[in-house]
Every structure is written in C-alpha cells, then in structure tokens.
C-alpha cells in the first residue's frame, strides 16, 4: 500500500484525528494520551501504531515510557495530511475538552510533587510493615495542618469537619438538611469541639461571609449540587486572597443507579469540566488528578481538584 493510501486510511478514524491535534502542541506518552482521552492503553497504542506506520508520527523511548510527536521530517504529502488532520480535529465536539485536559497534563509535568505521591502510593501496599496504615498517615498529616479557617460545604454529618476541627482554627460545616445539621452540631458539642460550627445552607449560596475562610472543601458534595459551576463560583467568593479550594468527587461514570441509590444529581465530572469551572471562577494554580479507584464494580474513581485564589 502506498504512503498516500496509508495516510488516508490512518486519518479515517475520528480518534486518530484527536490524537494528531493533541500532539500538535507537544510530545505525549501513551499514559498521558490515555488520561486525556479516557481510552484504554491497547486502543491508544493501536491508533498510534497506524499513524506512525503512515509516517505521520515519530516516537522515542524514555525508560519504560514511549513518547509520540508529529513527524517533523515528514515529506510534502505527509505534512499536508498532518495539517488536514489537525484542522479536522478542531471541528470535533471533543476538541475543546481535549485541549483543556492537554493543558492540565502539560502543567502537571512541572509539578514533581504529584509524581512523588504516585510513586509513594504505588509502593505503599507492596510489602507489609507493622503499624503502617493510611489511618496513621492521615493522623500525622492532620498534625502538620496549619491553623486555618475552613468551610466544609456539603458536610453531611460532619465526619471530615470533625477531623479537621481537631487542628484547624475554625471549621464551618454547611449542609442543606436540618436533621443532619442538628445531629452534627449535637455530636460536636458532645466531643467538645467548640471551633466546629454547623450552619444550614446551600452549596450555591453558603451562609458564610465573603473572604472569611482560608480553605473551602467540597468532599463528595459537588455531584449533589443543582449547578456545580455556580457552587465553585460561590466558593471563590468565600476564600481570602491566597486561599484555596479542594474538591473531592467522582470521575464521570455511567452508573445510572447512583441517582436513585445515593441521590446523585450528576454522574461524576470530567477533569476538563472542573478545570474550566475553576478557571472561570478565578482560581489559579489548578491541579486535577485521579487519586483512587475502587476495585469492585462499578469501579468508581475519585478525582481531586485544587486551586488557589
């Protein structure tokens, strides 16, 4: 088969057009392409193989990883096909989200802390160590928490709020259920947590003064909001300059039963949606990554997003 026909065949698939557009800006590894497109490794590798065979891509090895980029030494025909592929990808519905995720991935390359955490987490359960547990690590990290004023929005009964209150200057727990607020407040009183205050309110309009807290936390709460973007905008108004937001929620999934079983309004979120909403609200230095995956079906994945005002 001629190079021209191979190129035409290689570009006949929409996914391969997306890959070409992603590689226009910088080289990417297979894992990075997986994270951006949310496709399996074998599928991504197959697409990359076809594009490289057609002379449209180049690759290089870096340890155990392989990085791909557009073929800088492509001949005239190949260069034309590359340009057409990128132009075609820009007309696809997935293009905007792909570019947001690409920006996030490239920014994260400069953040070595995330890489270090992944390495530590990968080693954690590899061998037994007496007394070593995530619970113990959590208690250690709580003790180095600075004396912050924290807003825990969608706090529920306040489990996280109680833990934070043991080290924080003050914690304001907000929930829209009167019964849950009463329960949490009573429990805080019994436990002698005078710096933990429960307030009845909504995620999208929390009953908290503007620029009065150092940190806003939305822990598995955002998928219950009627308007998640508005909730993030409201959170931005609450934090002081230099303050932060931390969001723990589910990565977008297709387990429809969650609406009935857990009262979820949203079936998780895409990284690109959270990135876009945080940017629109005015947050900077945004970091987003998947931090956990359940072993049992439906294999919910937990996403952590953070930003600074």
Tens of pLDDT, residues 32-62: 999 999 898 999 999 999 999 988 999 998 8
What is the maximal distance between C-alpha atoms in the chain? 78
Q: Is the pLDDT of residue 120 over 70?
A: no
Fold of 3-92: Arc Repressor Mutant, subunit A (1.10.10)
What mean pLDDT is predicted for residues 267-295? 93
Highest mean pLDDT among 1-10, 67-76, 215-224: 215-224
Q: Is the pLDDT of residue 119 over 70?
A: no
Q: Is the pLDDT of residue 118 over 70?
A: no
Of 157, 121, 149, 264, the C-alpha closest to 217 is 149
Q: How many CB atoms lie within 10 A of CB 51?
A: 27
What mean pLDDT is predicted for residues 266-280? 95
Q: Is the pLDDT of residue 122 over 80?
A: no
Q: How many CB atoms lie within 10 A of CB 8?
A: 13
Q: Is the pLDDT of residue 253 over 70?
A: yes
Element (H, E) at 101: helix 95-108
pLDDT score, position 73:
83
Sheet holding 28-29, edge to edge: 28-29, 65-70, 57-62
Sheet holding 196-200, edge to edge: 196-200, 170-175, 149-153, 213-219, 239-250, 301-308, 284-293
Place 244 in a pLDDT band, splitting at 50, 70 and 90: very high
pLDDT score, position 97:
92
Q: Is the pLDDT of residue 240 over 70?
A: yes
What mean pLDDT is predicted for residues 199-220? 97
Contact 164, 172 (CB under 8 A): no
C-alpha 189/C-alpha 70 separation (Å) is 62
112-124+132-308: CATH homologous superfamily? Answer: Vaccinia Virus protein VP39 (3.40.50.150)
What mean pLDDT is predicted for residues 23-37? 92
Q: Is the pLDDT of residue 304 over 70?
A: yes
- Domain chopping of the chain, boundaries: 3-92, 112-124+132-308
Place 121 in a pLDDT band, splitting at 50, 70 and 90: low
pLDDT score, position 111:
62
Place 117 in a pLDDT band, splitting at 50, 70 and 90: low
pLDDT score, position 45:
93
Residue, of 76 and 276, whose pLDDT is higher: 276
Place 203 in a pLDDT band, splitting at 50, 70 and 90: very high
Of 170, 237, 154, 161, the C-alpha closest to 202 is 154
pLDDT score, position 3:
73
Tokens at residue 65, please? 């990883």
Q: Is the pLDDT of residue 31 over 70?
A: yes
Contact 201, 184 (CB under 8 A): no
What mean pLDDT is predicted for residues 63-89? 86
Residue, of 199 and 130, whose pLDDT is higher: 199
pLDDT score, position 36:
92
What mean pLDDT is predicted for residues 91-111? 86
Average pLDDT, the chain: 89
pLDDT score, position 75:
80
Q: Is the pLDDT of residue 112 over 60?
A: no
Residue, of 5 and 105, whose pLDDT is higher: 105
DSSP, collapsed to helix, strand or coil, labels residue 100 as helix
Of 173, 169, 176, 166, the C-alpha closest to 152 is 173
């Amino acid at each position: 088969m001629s190079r021209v026909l191979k190129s035409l065949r290689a570009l006949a698939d929409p996914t391969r057009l997306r890959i070409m557009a992603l590689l226009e800006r910088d080289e990417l590894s297979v894992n990075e392409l997986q994270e951006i497109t949310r496709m399996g490794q074998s599928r991504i590798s197959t697409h990359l193989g076809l594009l490289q065979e057609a002379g449209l891509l180049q690759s290089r090895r870096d340890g155990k990883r392989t990085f791909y980029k557009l073929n800088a030494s492509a001949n005239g025909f190949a260069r034309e096909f590359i340009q057409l592929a990128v132009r075609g990808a820009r007309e696809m519905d997935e293009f905007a989200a792909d570019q947001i995720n690409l920006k996030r991935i490239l920014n994260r390359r400069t953040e070595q802390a995330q890489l270090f955490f992944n390495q530590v987490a990968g080693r954690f359960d590899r061998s037994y160590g007496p007394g070593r547990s995530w619970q113990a690590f959590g208690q250690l990290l709580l003790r180095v928490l600075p004396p912050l004023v924290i807003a825990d929005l969608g706090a529920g009964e306040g489990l996280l709020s109680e833990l934070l209150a043991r080290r924080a200057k003050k914690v304001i727990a907000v929930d829209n259920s009167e019964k849950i607020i009463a329960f949490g407040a009573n429990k805080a009183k019994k436990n002698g947590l005078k710096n933990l205050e429960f307030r009845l309110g909504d995620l999208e309009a929390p009953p908290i003064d503007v620029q009065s807290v150092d940190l806003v936390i939305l822990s598995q709460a955002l998928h219950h909001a009627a308007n998640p973007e508005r909730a993030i905008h409201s959170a931005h108004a609450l934090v002081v300059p230099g303050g932060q937001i931390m969001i723990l929620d589910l990565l977008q999934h297709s387990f429809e039963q969650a609406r009935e079983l857990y009262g979820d309004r949203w079936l998780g979120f895409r990284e690109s949606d959270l990135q876009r909403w945080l940017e629109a609200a005015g947050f900077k230095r945004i970091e987003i990554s998947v931090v956990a995956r359940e072993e049992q079906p439906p294999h919910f994945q937990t996403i952590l997003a953070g930003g600074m005002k």
